[in-house]
Chain A
Amino acid sequence: MTETVWMVGDTDEERRRWQPVLPPGVGWLGPDQIERASGAALVLEVSLGPLGPKRDRLLSLRDVGVSRIVSAATTATIAAQRQWLGDTVPMTGCDPLLMLAGGRVQTVSAGDHEALALLDRIWPEWEFTSVADSIGMVFSREILPIINEAVAFFEHGVSTEDINQGTKLGLNYPRGPLEWAEMFGWSSVYWGLRALEDMYGPRFRPHPWIRRKVGSSLLEREAL
């Protein structure tokens, strides 16, 4: 792969989580390193958090002249993100939780052929398939409410181990719900659920345990 490709996130913790998935030749940029993406063929913006900082990162990427952006569609649709950028940069949606999970069949939305061709070259072992432009696409929309349900059992005295073991033995799930949550990070779980709640209603409302875990009221007031 000769094109310059970067992945952009918000925190060191995110960088650590993404290291195992980063293919050779794709570097990681934090929010204060975005200038290095100048002229890149493709940038993947994979952070899950409040929308304000995400919008600012996308605007910075536009301003440094990146050619294409593949952006997490977990907290905002690609149609909404295009409104931020004024249709100046071709954008494609991705599901970062599905990428972290190493899903063999990846979902993208609103993508152009060039972006899909680049993704195919970066991750040849994955199959990228288009779905409708929607919050959470398929995997995030499935796995996040499963985690939300599982968390409710904490308050009834069921241990993390029993919750994970119960779902693996009873349902043959490849990981327990709380193992998924640890893989994604609780902050990502929270922001993913909040976006789904905004779009689809209260069935996705993050459980109070998750809200407490990430200090949600503080996070949201700080993001204003």
Chain B
Amino acid sequence: MRVVIVGSGTMGSGIAEVAITAGDQAVLTDPDPVARERARRQIETHLARGAEKGRITETVSDIMARLDVSETAPLDAVDWVIEAAPEDIRLKQDLFRDLDERYPESTWLASNTSSIAINTIGATARRFPGRIGGLHFFNPVPRMVLVEIVRGMETASQYVSSAQSLVRRWGKTGIAVPDRPGFLVNRVARPYYLEALHLVDEAVASLELVDAVMEGVGFPMGPFRVMDLVGVDVNLSVTRAVYEQTAFDERYRPHPMQEHLVQRGRLGRKSGWGFYRYD
């Protein structure tokens, strides 16, 4: 099995690491040579750590031998192309139109988008629309078991079954979901954050108490701690994407409190201050 991964950021390099660890060949592409080198080092470091902890049985160099990090991707004998480029609609549409023109019908084309509709991403890729769908991995990819397999309007049922086989091979659990804004996981999670913001804004409870109540029933982190962990800005951008793609459904209206934090640079743990302080 040979897989091309487009984009060597956190998600792309995580997907490549999972693929080569499972015994597949992976070509990780990125136009930025600095990003490519960083991705290679990151994968190697993760694998070395996994070897130290006894999580992998092969040597790191044997696994790394299955990875090619390159500016351009091969066209022949590629089973899957998985796009993990930045969440920019135009960029992804251009990429998919290009991939659709260059790759034969037998190559499956998947986007790892977390928030853009597959129907939108593939809108201008019209040669073989049935081979285009979503493969939404979760961060950190090597640790998170779930993959959402997203069916667009014209995605073939064989895409779903091939995607199931692929993610199973990689030790993941695939769930087929419709191409609704936010897919399953990000959609179902919206009220967790938005209602928490309303509760604090309306002075029903403090944010510390909201977190404590939810953690008290077994949620690993309350909504405010999660927003600080993933980034207040990242969480807000997912909410905005769902809000816009549902034709501004009131249920997903971003909360001003979150917007104000982002405007002030209080992005969560990564900036040292979000809803909580991290000194």
Contact = CB atoms under 8 A, between A and B. Distances in A.
Decide whether A and B are members of one complex.
Answer: yes
A134 B204 contact: yes
Interface residues of A, number: 45
For the complex of A and B, 9 pairs with smallest distance between CB atoms: A174-B218, A104-B216, A145-B191, A170-B185, A169-B146, A105-B216, A156-B178, A203-B251, A103-B217
Contacts of A201: 250
Interface in A6-43: none
Contacts of A175: 218
B204 A137 contact: yes
Contact of A177 (B148, B188, B202): B188
Given A134-B202, A202-B250, A142 B214 contact: yes
B66 interface: no
Interface string A103-144: 111110000000000000000000101011010011101100
Nearest to A105: B216
A117 B252 CA distance: 40
A62 B182 CA distance: 49
A119 B173 CA distance: 43
Interface in A61-118: 98, 101-107
Contact of B213 (A138, A157, A169): A138
Contacts of B191: 142, 145-146, 148-149
A105 B212 contact: yes
A218 interface: no
A208 B185 CA distance: 21
B199 A141 contact: yes
Contact of A167 (B178, B185, B205): B185
A158 interface: yes
A170 B138 contact: yes
Contacts of B198: 141, 200
B74 to A, nearest CB: 32
A64 B205 CA distance: 34
A166 B185 contact: yes
Given A146-B192, A163-B184, A166-B185, A153 B209 contact: no
A151 to B, nearest CB: 10
Contacts of B209: 105, 107, 129, 131, 138
A176 to B, nearest CB: 9
Nearest to A150: B188
Nearest to A133: B204
A173 interface: yes
A217 interface: no
Contacts of B213: 98, 103, 105, 107, 129, 138-139
Contacts of A177: 188
B266 interface: no
Q: Which of B138, B188, B218, B250 has the most CB of A within 10 A?
A: B188
Q: Which of A129, A166, A177 has the most CB of B within 10 A?
A: A166
B203 interface: yes
B236 interface: no
A145 B204 contact: no
B217 A174 contact: yes
Nearest to B190: A149
Interface in B146-199: 146, 148, 173, 175-178, 180, 184-185, 187-192, 195-196, 198-199
A201 B204 CA distance: 17
Nearest to B212: A105
Given A138-B199, A138-B210, A173 B148 contact: no
